[in-house]
Structure 1
């Protein structure tokens, strides 16, 4: 199964997004990474790499909130022993789409990435 990693500057935000994505994604393998090791707002590559490796069976799609989360996710992917990509998608909507797509028997990193990135065009009103 393709794994999903949600990265946010806030540990609570990442956990909340994972919680919502698990509701719609059922059996999807989703890890949440947020904040710094000392409880501050921010991201660091080490925990992101560990999360990627924890769900890396058939590859991983990483969803990020903003700024340095992108840079740290890319660093983590370089260090990880896994096929992983960062989605250019809104983190919540992308995670929901990715979670549903990841549960398909024929899911690939490419199909889950495409589903996540399809969320860029979702209108909220």
Structure 2
């Protein structure tokens, strides 16, 4: 099953999105990387690496993030993971809540990483201005 990593500047927000996602897709593999080690707002590359490793499988991992610097931290985390895993981890720019819910449902019903990525990218393109 594809793993989902939710990266947010807020630990509480990441946890709440995970809990909501698990309500509609209880079997989904979801990990969070929110906030910094000292409890402040921000992102932490080590937390993202740990989250990737927590949900990693040969089916892949999709990382969904809340805003710009979280993307940079996610990129740095992917650069730091084992070489054999790097090509199986994707970072997607999509709506944090809606994307997380969609990814969880689709992963939970067995869609592969490419199918989920296509749905998330389509969702992003169809946002209302």
Provide the aligned C-alpha RMSD in A: 1.3
Partner of residue 115, structure 1 = 119
* Partner-residue secondary structure (3-state), 2:5: strand
- Residue 90 (structure 2) aligned to one of 80, 85, 93: 85
Matching of residues 30-109 of structure 1 within 5 Å: 30-57=30-57, 58-81=59-82, 82=85, 83-105=88-110, 107-109=111-113
Structure 1 unmatched ranges of 5 or more: none
Residues 84-125 of structure 1 show CA distances to partners (whole Å, capped at 9, x for unaligned) of: 1111101100001100110223x22111222223332255xx
Give the Cα separation in 1 of the matches to 2:4 and 2:15.
13
Q: What is the TM-score with the length of structure 1 in the denominator?
A: 0.91
Runs of 5+ consecutive residues of structure 2 not aligned to the other structure = none
Instruction: Give the Cα separation in 2 of the matches to 1:66 and 1:33.
Output: 13
Distance 1:69 1:78 in 2: 14
TM-score scaled by length of structure 2: 0.88
Query: Size of the alignment, in residue pairs?
Result: 122
The Cα shift of 1:20 comes to 0.9
